[in-house]
Amino acid sequence: MPNLDATLDPAALTSRLNAAVLSDVLDSLGRPGQALKPFVRPLDEDSILCGFARTGLYMKRFHTVEGANPYAIEMALIDDLKPGEIPVLACDGPTDRIAPWGELLTTASMARGAAGCLTDGLVRDVRRIRQVGFPVFHGGIGPLDTKGRAEMMAMDEPVEVAGVPVRTGDFVFGDVDGVVVVPREIAAEAVRLALEKIEAEDKTRDELLRGELLSAVFARHGVL
């Protein structure tokens, strides 16, 4: 993972950020296309996804080569995860065929300190994953194994997930509103601006609750 600004601490930011404000800030920075298509949803709507991408690229397969391990690159990515990192698995979703994520990858990733999983493919073993509370944002639910259907062909290469380019080291944030990918080179600035906007929104909310007019509050804080 690239050496990023020390203020980008996923553990500290998980409870402070939200996807909507990050999306607004990216709009203001001239990056309007950073929110994933809305078919990608959290497995648990209370989940927060916050961390740094580690990318994996899947391709369809229609057979398994005898003697080959179709999970080799997938396992290499999971075993190399660092605390705060998120496997971001590109499956050209939405798909009814590629299901890269399940309980055992969840368990292995949790042991490495990973911050969650993001994929536009399918997820299975849903009940078990919900029980352990690991944040998984997915493109659908299905029981299929990837063996003979798909294989991770590359890791840590640029990919596209649900319409958004993602690179290893990009900052990823997701909540019930959706998932936003912040390019690593503007991540520190985007997070700083988002926290400032959230503070302004908090002031706006308090003043509206006191009965002040929306137009007056907007003129004062400039957020809506």
Taking only the tens place, the pLDDT of each residue in 103-132 is 999 999 999 999 999 999 999 999 999 999
pTM of the predicted model, to two decimals? 0.91
Give the DSSP letter of residue 123. B
* Residue 25: strand, helix, or coil: helix
Binding site annotation covers 104? yes
Percentage of the chain modeled with pLDDT above 70: 97
**Structural domains present in the chain:** 10-184 (3.50.30.40)
In the structure encoding, which two tokens stand for residue 143, read together?
A: 């029981």
Binding site annotation covers 103? yes
The whole-number pLDDT of residue 205 equals 85
Q: Which residue has the tokens 């003979």?
A: 148
Binding site annotation covers 222? no
Please list the ranges in the chain whose pLDDT falls under 50: 1-4
The whole-number pLDDT of residue 1 equals 45
The whole-number pLDDT of residue 203 equals 82
Residue 101, number of CB atoms within 10 A of its CB: 28
Measured distance CA(122)–CA(144) in Å, rounded: 8
The whole-number pLDDT of residue 6 equals 58
Binding site annotation covers 125? yes
Measured distance CA(172)–CA(222) in Å, rounded: 26
